[in-house]
C-alpha cells in the first residue's frame, strides 16, 4: 500500500525539486517505514499537490525526496463543510477523522447549547490543534491531496451568516424530508450541521431555519453525533457526483 507524507512547502511544487521530511514525518519514514535511498513514495503539500517521489538521502531527523511526477488537484466545487458540535469522550474526534477520510473540505467546531464538552480559555486552541492533527493523519491515511481546514469555535451568529449564503443542512431526526432528497444548487458550499448527544436545541434550530438553513433527517433511526456527519456526507457526496 502506498504511503503519503506531507511537507510544509511555500514554493513551487514541481518535477526535479527536492523536499525534506522532518520531525515526525522523517521519523515515520526512516524508522517505521524503514525507507532507503532509491525507494519511492508519495509526498504532498496538503493544498492540492501530490507527487511521486524518490528517496535521495536519509539522515537523522531528515529524509530528502526528489519529486518525479507532480499532480495538482483543485478544490472541489461546491465544497462540503462539517459543523461538528462538541461532544463528550472522543465522539467529535471520531467524526473529524471519519469525515476527513470521506472527503470533507472544511470542519468547524461548534459549542452548541447542549454540548456537554466545553472549550473555554486555552482549551479552544488545544482542541483546534488536536482536531487539525487528527484531520492531517486521516488525510495521509486516505491519500487525500488536501487537508481539510479546521476552524475554531463558531458562534450562532457565524452559523446564521453561513446559512444565509451557503447551502446549509441541519440534521434533525424528526425533519419531514429525508436527506436523500437533497438537490444541490449552484457553487456555494454545502454545510452539514451536526448537533451533540442531546441534539440541536429548538432555539438553535429555529434561528438557523430563519436564516435560510434546511432541516433534513437521515432515516428512521437516530445516529450518534460521531456517525451522523459521515452518513450525511456520504449522501451529499452522491448528490454532488463525487461518489
Beta pairing partners, 6: 44
CB atoms inside a 10 Å sphere around CB 167: 24
What are the residue ranges of CATH 2.40.240.20 in the chain? 4-72
Residues contacting 186, CB < 8 A, separation 6+: 78, 167
pLDDT tens, 207-228? 999 999 999 999 888 899 999 9
**Residue 9: what pLDDT?**
67
* pLDDT by 10s per residue, the chain, length 243: 578 999 976 667 899 999 999 999 999 898 888 999 999 999 999 999 999 999 999 998 899 999 999 999 999 999 999 999 999 989 999 999 999 999 999 999 999 999 999 998 789 999 999 999 999 999 999 999 999 999 999 999 999 999 999 999 999 999 999 999 999 999 999 999 999 988 999 999 999 999 999 999 998 888 999 999 999 999 999 999 999
What are the residue ranges of CATH 3.40.1280.10 in the chain? 80-239
Euclidean distance between the first and final Cα of the chain, in Å? 22
Pairing of strands 167-171, 214-216: parallel
**Residue 156: what pLDDT?**
96
Topology of domain 4-72, per CATH?
Ribosomal Protein L25; Chain P (2.40.240)
Decide: 52 and 40 in contact? Cβ < 8 Å: yes
**Residue 1: what pLDDT?**
54
Predicted TM-score (pTM) of the model is 0.93
**Residue 33: what pLDDT?**
86
Pairing of strands 106-110, 149-154: parallel
Q: Which CATH class is domain 80-239?
A: alpha beta
- Cell numbers found for residue 80: 462540503
Amino acid at each position: 500500500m502506498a504511503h503519503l507524507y506531507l511537507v510544509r512547502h511555500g514554493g513551487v511544487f514541481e518535477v526535479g525539486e527536492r523536499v525534506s521530511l522532518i520531525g515526525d514525518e522523517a521519523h515515520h519514514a526512516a524508522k517505521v517505514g524503514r525507507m532507503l535511498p532509491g525507494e519511492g513514495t508519495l509526498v504532498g503539500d496538503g493544498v492540492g499537490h501530490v507527487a511521486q517521489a524518490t528517496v535521495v538521502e536519509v539522515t537523522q531527523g531528515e529524509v530528502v525526496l526528489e519529486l518525479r511526477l507532480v499532480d495538482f488537484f483543485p478544490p472541489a466545487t461546491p465544497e462540503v463543510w462539517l459543523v461538528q458540535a462538541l461532544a463528550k469522550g472522543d465522539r467529535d474526534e471520531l467524526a473529524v477523522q471519519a469525515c476527513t477520510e470521506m472527503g470533507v473540505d472544511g470542519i468547524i467546531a461548534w459549542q452548541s447549547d447542549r454540548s456537554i464538552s466545553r472549550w473555554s480559555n486555552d482549551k479552544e486552541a488545544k482542541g483546534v490543534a488536536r482536531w487539525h492533527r487528527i484531520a492531517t493523519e486521516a488525510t495521509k491515511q486516505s491519500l487525500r491531496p488536501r487537508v481539510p481546514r479546521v476552524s475554531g469555535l463558531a458562534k450562532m451568529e457565524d452559523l446564521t451568516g453561513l446559512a444565509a449564503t451557503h447551502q446549509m443542512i441541519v440534521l434533525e431526526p424528526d425533519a419531514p424530508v429525508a436527506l436523500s432528497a437533497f438537490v444541490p444548487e449552484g457553487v456555494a458550499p454545502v454545510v452539514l450541521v451536526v448537533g451533540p448527544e442531546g441534539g440541536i436545541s429548538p432555539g438553535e434550530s429555529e434561528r438557523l431555519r430563519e436564516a435560510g438553513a434546511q432541516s433534513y433527517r437521515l432515516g428512521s433511526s437516530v445516529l450518534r453525533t460521531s456517525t451522523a456527519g459521515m452518513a450525511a456526507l456520504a449522501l451529499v457526496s452522491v448528490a454532488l457526483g463525487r461518489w
